[in-house]
Amino acid sequence: MYRVLVPVDSNTNRARHQAQYVARLPDADSAVAATVLHVAPPDRFTAGDEVSFSAIDSAATAAEELERAGVEVTRRADGGSVSRAIVDAVTDVDADEVVMGGRKRSGVTTVLLGSTVQDVLLSTERPVTVTGDGVSLGEGTRKVLVPVDGHEERARQQARYVAGLPGDPSAVEATVFYVFRHQDYTGAPSHELGALRNEFADVDSAVMAAEMLDDAGVTVERVAEGGEVARRILRAAEDRTVDGIVMGGRKRSGVQKVLLGSTVRDVLLSAERPVTLTG
């Protein structure tokens, strides 16, 4: 069984989109078990209080949406430090994936990552998917974009996540995508670099990820382009109408500090589609 933790806040629209994402996982009605979690923050919770799941509209909406799709659902409510409770729950349920709804719009066009989402992204080793206020999902075959950099271990984790999705791997189509930055090639044209698709075989991390997915039975497209990395990733996601973008952008600095790379942050904040961060 593929176990998914779905932590919801009080925003019913975000919670609904989180649930819709989970319901669209391959074979969700038979292979996915979801735990919908609501954590009441410290300013609304004191020791000895009981948090009622059914009294939280967003949590009840997410659970009902999942059950209508045939997904097995566990309801869970807690109180206290929100990010800590979520990270603890990841371990408790042994989650294969955490699905959060943390993109928030401020003003007309500004998009922010909530502090809880950032804390969870940087505190767990499990894949974390951020859906936001909307989710664009197609029907039938699940299509994912897998943008890799030159780091082989991150690319391996991205491929492992895609290959480990529930259901038949043949129901998944993955585009392994590498972007050559302009400075990687002296004299490279400033815009269209379609010829670089032939250079895919020179990128060890991309080749390894594609081979892992091939071996798992996933249909793989291999693409290399040149240009500004985040912009190319976002355009490729739209052009292919993918169901999700699978990034590998957690980076370690020093002994324990974990950072989000600038490209990952740009994609998280700009994508109109769910973004999964694997490591």
Pairing mode, strands 257-260 and 250-253? antiparallel
Q: Which residue do the tokens 């809880």 mark? A: 116
Does 63 fall in a domain?
A: yes
Query: According to the model, what pLDDT value does residue 261 have?
Result: 74
CA-nearest of 91, 76, 94, 74 to 3 is 94
CB distance 29 to 69 below 8 Å: yes
Assess whether pLDDT exceeds 60 at residue 107.
no
Query: According to the model, what pLDDT value does residue 97 have?
Result: 97
Say yes or no: 160 and 267 in one domain: yes
pLDDT tens digits along 188-225: 544 444 455 568 888 999 999 999 999 999 999 999 98
CB distance 249 to 151 below 8 Å: no
Does 136 fall in a domain?
A: no
Assess whether pLDDT exceeds 70 at residue 187.
no
Assess whether pLDDT exceeds 70 at residue 46.
no
* DSSP line for 113-128: E-HHHHHHHHH-SS-E
CA distance 90 to 79: 15
How many domains are contained in the chain? Answer: 2
Residue ending a domain, among 78, 95, 130, is: 130
Query: According to the model, what pLDDT value does residue 195 have?
Result: 52
> 202 in the Ramachandran plot: left (φ > 0), alpha (ψ -120 to 50) or beta?
alpha
Give the number of residues written for the chain: 279
pLDDT tens digits along 83-101: 999 999 999 999 999 999 8
Say yes or no: 45 and 163 in one domain: no
Q: Calculate the average pLDDT of the chain.
A: 84
pLDDT tens digits along 114-129: 678 888 888 888 999 9
Does 209 fall in a domain?
A: yes
Average pLDDT for 148-170: 94
Say yes or no: 120 and 146 in one domain: no
Domain range spanning residue 250?
Answer: 142-277
Does 135 fall in a domain?
A: no
Residue ending a domain, among 103, 130, 157, is: 130
CB distance 43 to 14 below 8 Å: no
pLDDT band at 108 (very low <50, low <70, confident <90, very high): very low
Give the CATH number, domain containing residue 179. 3.40.50.620
Say yes or no: 126 and 159 in one domain: no
Say yes or no: 100 and 218 in one domain: no
Does 219 fall in a domain?
A: yes
Say yes or no: 183 and 110 in one domain: no
Assess whether pLDDT exceeds 70 at residue 104.
no
Residue ending a domain, among 101, 130, 159, is: 130
CA distance 265 to 247: 10
Say yes or no: 247 and 199 in one domain: yes
Average pLDDT for 146-155: 94
Give Cα separations from 239 to 13, 205, 249 (angstroms): 26, 23, 22
